[in-house]
Structure 1
Amino acid sequence: MKTLNVTNPINRSPFRRALLLIGPALVIIAALTAVPARATPQSGVTSLTIANGTFADIDVYAKTDIDPGLETDFWKARIDTKGASHLYILQNTVIPGGTFGWHSHTGPSLVIVVSGTATEYEGNDPTCTPHLHPAGSTFVDAGEASGHLVRNDSTNDNLVVIVVRLIPEALVPTQRIDKPNPGYCPNIN
């Protein structure tokens, strides 16, 4: 009867050892980079900062009786931030065919459409439904991680919007975060 000697390691060539070590790493790298997510940058957009400033913690609650005849007809607002915040007031002008590209923000934005029509797509909408915001209308960009895209589909008129954006002071350098197309809207950039 033969005795199996297990104290001697299996003799492998240096090439085979390298393959065993590098092979799995190459597979992982290939899987992670096979379909690169590409940001969709803005084009045809000019931004003008009208004003900006920094606030310490904000804790404001406002309640106004808009019809004294009714006991429960109140307008209410709450702004509650922890830590310093930065407020921007911007005027963005988008030429015909221009786009903000897919992006998100680190805080909410209130948007007033001054002229033209803004066409907005939401990054978490699998139906890729366009939301039209004509001159005189408003909309809120919650600054969600899924992002959105706003563009000017006009062939003649500029789109002009005023944006009031509140973001954490610590994230001022990243008030806009470019995003890849979410995949629901393959031809919308």
Structure 2
Amino acid sequence: MTGCAAALAFGSTSALATPGSGVTGTILAKGTSAGTLKVKAKGRTDVIVRSITIAPGGSTGWHYHSGQLIAVVKSGTLTRTLQDCSVEVTPTSTSFIEPAGARHVHIGRNLGTEPVELYVTYLVPEGSPLSVDADAPACAGG
């Protein structure tokens, strides 16, 4: 929630996409399922667990994921703006799920004064990037 950004393996799709800043990530574990998981993917599914840190003032840039992800906020407060420009605020010790696909463009920001630390589990089609750069939606002035 590429998730994530700078170290999120973005695949650039647009000259107008907003780059992320202040984001680092570390892959903690990775495996590939022997069969298809229930993630609207054909073929095998990569399951990747990452630790992601967003510095104060940092953001992921606008992006989406090719598979579903589940995130837990270990510390700090993550503010996400979704494709319809609604805002979701997720504080420490809470979690969220992000759906897959280009219809679910979003950006994550750290508007606080302490780093946001996340544990994120990605369920993506085998070999897919963890997130894909995207233009800001029209409602965001992008």
Contact kept, 8 Å, 2:70 with 2:121, in 1: the verdict is yes
CA distance in 2, matches of 1:140, 1:116: 17
The unaligned stretches of length 5 or more in structure 2 are: 1-13
Query: Of residues 165, 175, 186 in structure 1, which corresponds to 2:130?
Result: 175
Q: Are 1:55 and 2:33 counterparts?
A: yes
Secondary structure of the residue aligned to 1:184 is helix
Deviation at 1:81, TM superposition (A): 5.4
The unaligned stretches of length 5 or more in structure 1 are: 1-35, 60-77
Deviation at 1:170, TM superposition (A): 4.0
**Equivalence for 1:149:** 107
**Equivalence for 1:25:** none
Deviation at 1:80, TM superposition (A): 7.6
Q: Are 1:84 and 2:44 counterparts?
A: yes
Deviation at 1:121, TM superposition (A): 0.9
Alignment of 1:15-30 (within 5 A): none
**Equivalence for 1:135:** 92
Deviation at 1:186, TM superposition (A): 2.4
Percent identity, aligned pairs only, is: 33
Specify which structure has the bigger relative contact order, considering alpha-carbon pairs within 8 angstroms and separated by 6 or more residues: 2
Distance 1:167 1:157, change over 3 A: same
Contact kept, 8 Å, 2:72 with 2:93, in 1: the verdict is yes
**Equivalence for 1:46:** 24
**Equivalence for 2:140:** 185
Q: Give the total of aligned pairs.
A: 128
* Deviation by residue 1:4-35 (Cα, 9 ceiling, x = unmatched): xxxxxxxxxxxxxxxxxxxxxxxxxxxxxxxx
CA distance in 2, matches of 1:120, 1:80: 24
Deviation at 1:175, TM superposition (A): 2.4
Contact kept, 8 Å, 1:57 with 1:82, in 2: the verdict is no
Structure 1 or 2: larger strand share?
A: 2
Structure 1 or 2: larger helix share?
A: 1
**Is the radius of gyration larger for structure 1 or structure 2?**
1
Runs of 4+ in 1 over 3 A off after TM superposition: 78-82
- The TM-score normalised by the length of structure 2 is 0.82
- The TM-score normalised by the length of structure 1 is 0.63
